Amino acid sequence: MTYIKALLKMVCATALVGLLCALAMAPVAGVGGVAIARTQEAMESDINDLEAANMPGVTTIKDATGEDMAYLFTQRRYPVAPDKISQTMKDAIVSIEDRRFYDHEGVDIQGNFRAVATNVLAGGVSQGASTLDQQYVKNYLLLVTAEDEEDQQAATEQSVARKLREMRMATQIDKTLSKEQILANYLNLVSFGNHAYGIEAAARTYFGENASDLTLPQSAMLAGMVQSSEYLNPYTNEEAVTERRNTVLQSMAANGYISQAEADDAAAQPLGVNSEPSLLTNGCIGAGDRGFFCDYVLEYLDAKGLDVDSLARGGYTITTTLDPKAQDAAKKAVSDQTSPTAPGVAEVMNVVEPAADDRDVLAMVSSRTYGLDQDNYETILPQPYSLVGNGAGSVFKIFTAAAGLEAGYGIKDQLSVPARYEASGLGHGGAQNCPADKYCVENAGSYQASMTLQDALAYSPNTTFVQMLEQLGVSSIVDTSVKLGLRSYIKDGSFSEDSSIAQTAKDSSMGSYTLGPTAVNPLELSNVGATIASGGMWCEPNPIEKITDRDGNEVYLDPTPCERAIDKDVADALSNALSQDAVKGTAADSARAYGFSGTTAAKTGTTESNQSSAFLGFTSKWSAAPYIYNDGTTTTPLCTGPVRQCGWGDLFGGKEPAATYFELASQLGVGALPGYNNAYDKGTSGDATLDGLKNKSEAEARRTLESKGYSVKVNRVPGMGVGYGQVVRALKPAGGLKKGAEVTLQVSDGTGAAAPTSGSWRAEGTGGAAANAANVPAAPAAPAAPAVPNLEQQFNDLADSVRNAFGL
């Protein structure tokens, strides 16, 4: 009776197998009445995907020299061509998984009948019948197509509908793809355990080899592992893996791929795997000190439409602009000046290459170590390329100078340097005892009564630049800063939830704007220098040299067009106006300490209560802006030697920030500064009419302007040698000389004699007596520092200084 039941069971099962095989190989139109899990349209879409074999691969991010920097992936896979897989590997997988692979047409009818008979007689499942074609289909739907858990269950469900769909798709791809390609697709797809997907990743993971170089015993081991890659793990189940490998070898001998002697010899060898699996770190966390740059690459590409999910599946090769020499030198420079583990304070710097049609980012560093160990002050926050800190201080005087040169100021014009200045129309507050309707500013040191604009940029008196801002207008200075590179300033939310820094500064007539009291993006600040060094052309900071897809085809990114920020003549004159800081100005001591003998444009900056400090330097070769700021939860003044949070604050831009730049320059060298039109020595608006008004009487100048359709505004300024009532300069409107435009006449009030030859000052202007807490944006996510330094903290810091000085 048992025999009869088994026979009937076999007959029924065989009939069912025959029906399934017939349905699987029949035209689609012939099975319209059969209920299947997917529509014909969806199945055809899957078939197209199977033929294209677009499997998730590893995206590799490289530096400019081609060295790997980081990897992104959802499945660690390196698809390779059929001829890049060793023949022993192909033979091994066919022998153990589908010995009739080269004979059937995707579905092995003979094998299905044999499996039914074997399983019925065994009273269970002892032999499978899926071909490599079918396994490829099943694994592709599971590992590639499935988007969620429901899709994964559908790809592996034990149902007639799923099996029929799998069989039909297998027969279809067998018609359109060669056997060699199907075999390669399968080997490129399946999991081999330990996060290795595909044969190339498996060969690297276990043997440190390429798939093309796999030996017979290595191939047999890997072929055996696909049965259950989790269970058959050579690091946790060596005995089972060895036994399975030897089974594969005996199968290969039985099927004629190798001799019995070869099988026995290979079976006698140890597995020979690496001491531990060779794995890849996924994401920028594996990039070390290149991690900040790596993150910027991902942010940049996302803005261009290539998001992280696409990158993690796409198998792209991304060659970046990162110069390892510049990167390593920059990292050493910031770490030498600011300890990576200094509590509450960090230094960041970017190195950007000037060019009129591109803007490569060569390096991006922080004194902080890129990582996740917060106990050791590591961070993955985007410090070098986001709005951070309390501002770049007097570096912002560059923007006032740029706007001034555009309007008609000259780099060798004599400018007034009062010890205190009370400005009108620029908000209120600032220095002590300031009238309610004024904005008051004082200098941080002693200066001569007047100096040239070039010297003012070197020695940095606050009052001179606040006077210029008052004459030029806050909007003009803000717009210039944005044009030159501070593009974050026009983004809503950069100041408050619904307001930008730029608009807030304009709306509040922020008199302290020229003193740099607002948080800055260090990358944008470095790019300001590159813009000036590029003849006034702004370009978006670019981290990408080239991208290719998995097939080697170049991927086009739509670049942001470069823009003319300021006139070339103005940019070249400004570069030269900034050339004296490292020679005799606030950065001169640091330049000498590093033996710097080159030429560089430079500007130092320090903010209110020394809460952050910066330096911007550039030549034709590169631009960089070291920036030190409070990066913790508490904002305090910062001290020097070593850089640290403290109670009183004595860190200036001419100290560690400048030292960082000159240390970097000693490793990278510097380029040159451009020649410039000497008309900018005494100032030119670029308009003969305006320039011709100098030294004319106020009445004559007014008549000339009004006859040309301009309105006239008169401001009384120190004459600096120009007689009373005569025109010192006529300022070109920021919007250009259009009919009806308002031209400002600066008319001498008779004060201020021409200055003597410049001396040598070392004081650096700060926002100390100028910043107005009521109208200055605070650094994001950082509470304001106390107005009065903590006396106890001052004594503690002083005591530490004494102990250090005397070795106590």
CATH number at residue 461: 3.40.710.10
Q: What is the pLDDT of residue 153?
A: 85
Stretch among 118-127, 283-292, 570-579 having the lowest mean pLDDT = 118-127
User: Total domain count for the chain?
Assistant: 3
User: Are residues 159 and 224 located together in one domain of the fold?
Assistant: yes
For the chain, give the percent of residues with pLDDT over 70: 85
pLDDT tens digits, residue range 29-64? 444 444 344 456 666 778 898 999 999 999 999 999
**pLDDT classification of 149: cutoffs 50, 70, 90:** confident
User: Between the ranges 58-72, 147-161, 771-785, where is the mean pLDDT highest?
Assistant: 58-72
d(CA 703, CA 712): 9
Which of these, 431, 435, 471, 391, lies nearest to 778 by C-alpha position? Answer: 391
pLDDT tens digits, residue range 503-521? 999 999 999 999 999 999 9
| Over residues 767-780, mean pLDDT | 41
Q: Which residue has the tokens 């583990």?
A: 341
User: Are residues 650 and 735 located together in one domain of the fold?
Assistant: no
Question: DSSP code of 143?
Answer: I
pLDDT exceeds 90 at position 361: yes
- The count of other CB atoms within 10 Å of the CB of residue 302 is 14
Q: What is the pLDDT of residue 4?
A: 55
The CATH number that applies at residue 144 is 1.10.3810.10
pLDDT tens digits, residue range 200-231? 999 999 999 999 999 999 999 999 999 999 99
- Whether residue 247 is contained in a domain is answered as yes
User: Are residues 693 and 609 located together in one domain of the fold?
Assistant: no
- Whether residue 230 is contained in a domain is answered as yes
- Whether residue 322 is contained in a domain is answered as no
- The structure's pTM equals 0.87
Q: What is the pLDDT of residue 295?
A: 99
The CATH number that applies at residue 722 is 3.30.10.20
pLDDT exceeds 60 at position 328: yes
User: Are residues 106 and 254 located together in one domain of the fold?
Assistant: yes
**Which range marks the domain in which residue 430 is found?**
393-668
Contact, 587 vs 363, CB < 8 A? no
**pLDDT classification of 129: cutoffs 50, 70, 90:** low
Contact, 201 vs 192, CB < 8 A? yes
d(CA 585, CA 592): 12
- Whether residue 565 is contained in a domain is answered as yes
User: Are residues 253 and 204 located together in one domain of the fold?
Assistant: yes
pLDDT tens digits, residue range 701-730? 999 998 888 999 999 999 888 999 999 999
pLDDT tens digits, residue range 665-687? 999 999 999 999 999 999 998 88
Dihedral (CA of 237, 239, 245, 250) sign: negative
Q: What is the pLDDT of residue 807?
A: 39
- Whether residue 205 is contained in a domain is answered as yes
Three-state DSSP class for residue 713: strand
Answer with the one of 214, 236, 267 that is the final residue of a domain: 267
User: Are residues 455 and 590 located together in one domain of the fold?
Assistant: yes
**pLDDT classification of 160: cutoffs 50, 70, 90:** confident
Q: What is the pLDDT of residue 111?
A: 58
User: Are residues 13 and 159 located together in one domain of the fold?
Assistant: yes
Average pLDDT, the chain: 88
Q: What is the pLDDT of residue 429?
A: 87
**pLDDT classification of 2: cutoffs 50, 70, 90:** low
Beta bridge partners of 352: 361, 623
pLDDT exceeds 50 at position 317: yes
User: Are residues 184 and 245 located together in one domain of the fold?
Assistant: yes
| Over residues 724-746, mean pLDDT | 88
Q: What is the pLDDT of residue 148?
A: 85
Provide DSSP, 416-462: E--SEEEEESS-SEESTT--TTEEEEE-SS---SEEEHHHHHHH--H
Answer with the one of 215, 250, 267 that is the final residue of a domain: 267
- Whether residue 255 is contained in a domain is answered as yes
